[in-house]
Amino acid sequence: MTMLTSLARALAAERGRAELIRTVRHVHLSPRPLVFIPLELAGEANGPLAALVGDDPEKPHLLTISEPRNRTQRFAWAADLAAIVLPYIDSFADADIGEDEAYQDAPQLLVPNPGGLGFTRLLGRSTRFRRTQGEYAVPESVPLLGRWLTFFAERSEVPASSLILSMTDALTAHWATGQSAMEDGHLAALLAWIDPPAGMTGAEAALAAEDPGKWPPAGPATHPDFDNDVLEGRVRAVRSAADAGDEGGLNRAQAGFAAALRSQLEPTWSLMWQGVELLRGLREADYLGKRWERDRWSFSGHVRRLADDGAPQARRDNAVRAAQRLSSLERDQQFIDVQAAFEDPLVMAEQRMSGEAFAGSAVEVLADRTDDTGKRTVPRPWVTIATADGVLIEVGKKVKVVRATGTRQDAIVRIVEPGDEAGAERGVGTTAVTVELTSGMGRKKTPEPGGVPAVGEFLIATTLTGDFQPSPKWPEKEETPWTHGGPPPEYVPNDEDAGEAWS
């Protein structure tokens, strides 16, 4: 937690209402997202019990399994889910596109919390390897659903990818509440802080949201009281009706079972759409356009992959693939860190408080300074910035200087003269940092007009430079060195894949 977030939390606690900690929205929101709220059976790892799913706030689809431990019913449930999710996905892939094109838009899944992401990942893992013929065959849509859910789950690891979002994560990234991070995991309490009902403070509303009768958990775990007092009876009723062969009784019992689960899911359904509306109220950051474009490309690529050979994603990455993926995730993260800071003053403020950026007025400018040690003489003006920020940037470090106009120039820190502590406390800029500008001045000996800041101009300098980093070279999979176990055998999907390491 940054110092700024800590402050925002303290303010939220004092004022009884969540504080915005971002000025723009840092996630992309689809105009037509698919909300997916899964529930699982207590004590059964990834044993689905029910789900409320749909892309229309008015028309949620309820899917339930009255015998959650019955594997046949479980995969029939997965097929029901596929019958909703796959047409939704297909509706974005209806155009004819070439190999080097991407679809105009991409699907977006919204789950309530990180638990929902984990459920999606595990459900994808348990369905993508299923056979459609022979023993224990499942409908063809089930392994296809698994491949899609796995795709979404894998994209959720990519920084700033918005193909699947967890609502609590998306909300806490933009608002700080007066409760603990753990309490923020409860969607109802979190939304109570952000958007309390009229006449209540966020703190009061959050307290009211602790009533599981009114606001049941947003899944995937159910409330233990519901399990003991309601669910158990309903499951027994279904079972005894089935055992008795009483068709009318079975229908009634199943309807009761479904109604019980609907009561647990519907409050979360409305909260999810409330969250969507709140997030839509924030303007989307510009850099997300580029990120969403990557999501669209990734989506289009997966559609093509499924059309080509359709093999399920391997259970694990090989050594080269793992290293490549980590490197790509790290470069993505760096890109996001930089873009977020440049587009959102509150993110830049966090940088400044951490000592990795500083802001202040230019107090001295040596605009005519040049460097003639190279082949040709180049302008290398020195600009001294007086700042009240605590500067932890060392001499020799590369920084980006953000001008009052918003343009950014490269620079190198040359001198850092720390000021006295008393001055810093009074809030006057006492640390003097001299930077040497190295770009944005044209190609001539003297800088172009406006290429050098004037005395008095307000400048921000940050170590977040975001310089392009090419993808590093990796060995071919067939050339995996002995240190990493040598070349891996070719991956062929087989029945073993569906098993778990401990089973």
Partner 1 sequence: MVVSTEVAAARAKAATEAILADLKTAPRGVVVDSPPGAGKSTLVVRAAAELADAGERVIVIAQTNEQVDDLAVRLAVAHPEMEIGRLSAQAYARPERLMPHENVRHETNPADLEERPAVIGTAAKWATVSDAGKWPWAIVDEAYQMRSDLLLRVAGLFAKALFVGDPGQLDPFSTVETQRWTGLSWDPMSSAVEVMLAHNADVVPVHALPVSWRLPASAAPVVSRAFYPFTPFTSATDAGERKLRWTAASLARTPADDALELAAEAGWALYQLPHRHTLRTDREAVAACAELAARALRRGGVAESENGAASVTPERIAIGTAHRDQAAAVRAALASLGVSGVTVDTANRLQGREFELVIVLHPLSGRQDATAFHLETGRLCVLTSRHRQACVVVAREGIPELLDRHPSVEPVHLNVPVKFPDGWEAHQSLLAHLSQFAIRA
Binding site for partner 1 (CB under 8 A): 157, 159, 316-320, 322-323, 325-327, 329-330, 333-334, 354-355, 390, 392, 418, 420-421, 472-475, 479-486, 501-502
What is the C-alpha to C-alpha distance for residues 221 and 219, in angstroms, rounded to an integer?
5
Tell me how far, at minimum, the Cβ of 329 lies from partner 1, in Å. 5
Tell me how far, at minimum, the Cβ of 144 lies from partner 1, in Å. 23
Neighbouring residues of 61: CB distance < 8 A, sequence distance ≥ 6 = 52, 53, 54, 84
Q: What is 166-234 written as a DSSP string?
A: EHHHHHHTTEE-SS-HHHHTSHHHHHHHHSPPTT--HHHHHHHTT-TTTS---SSSPPHHHIIIIIHHH
**Which is closer to partner 1, CB of 244 or CB of 322?**
322
**Which is closer to partner 1, CB of 283 or CB of 502?**
502
What is the C-alpha to C-alpha distance for residues 226 and 234, in angstroms, rounded to an integer?
11
Tell me how far, at minimum, the Cβ of 210 lies from partner 1, in Å. 24
What is the C-alpha to C-alpha distance for residues 69 and 43, in angstroms, rounded to an integer?
11
**Which is closer to partner 1, CB of 61 or CB of 397?**
397
Tell me how far, at minimum, the Cβ of 382 lies from partner 1, in Å. 20
**Which is closer to partner 1, CB of 223 or CB of 484?**
484
Strands 370-371 and 458-462: unpaired
Q: What are residue 412's phi and psi, to 5 degrees?
A: -125, 135
**Which is closer to partner 1, CB of 79 or CB of 386?**
386
Neighbouring residues of 456: CB distance < 8 A, sequence distance ≥ 6 = 361, 362
Instruction: Give the CB-side neighbour count of residue 342, counting CA atoms within 13 A.
Output: 23
Tell me how far, at minimum, the Cβ of 350 lies from partner 1, in Å. 13
**Chain centroid, CA 356 distance in Å:** 24
What is the C-alpha to C-alpha distance for residues 29 and 197, in angstroms, rounded to an integer?
24
**Residue 277: CB atoms within 10 Å:** 12
Pick from 62, 87, 65, 84: nearest CA to 74: 65
Query: Do 367 and 380 form a contact (C-beta atoms < 8 A)?
Result: no
**Which is closer to partner 1, CB of 307 or CB of 468?**
468
Tell me how far, at minimum, the Cβ of 326 lies from partner 1, in Å. 4
Structure tokens at 166: 């967890």
Tell me how far, at minimum, the Cβ of 327 lies from partner 1, in Å. 7
Tell me how far, at minimum, the Cβ of 180 lies from partner 1, in Å. 12
**Which is closer to partner 1, CB of 396 or CB of 406?**
396
**Which is closer to partner 1, CB of 330 or CB of 368?**
330
**Which is closer to partner 1, CB of 259 or CB of 322?**
322
32, 378, 448, 451 from 444: Cα distances, Å: 52, 7, 8, 11
**Maximum alpha-carbon separation in the chain:** 96
Query: Do 144 and 306 form a contact (C-beta atoms < 8 A)?
Result: yes
Tell me how far, at minimum, the Cβ of 475 lies from partner 1, in Å. 5
Structure tokens at 401: 């200087």
Tell me how far, at minimum, the Cβ of 9 lies from partner 1, in Å. 14
**Which is closer to partner 1, CB of 212 or CB of 419?**
419
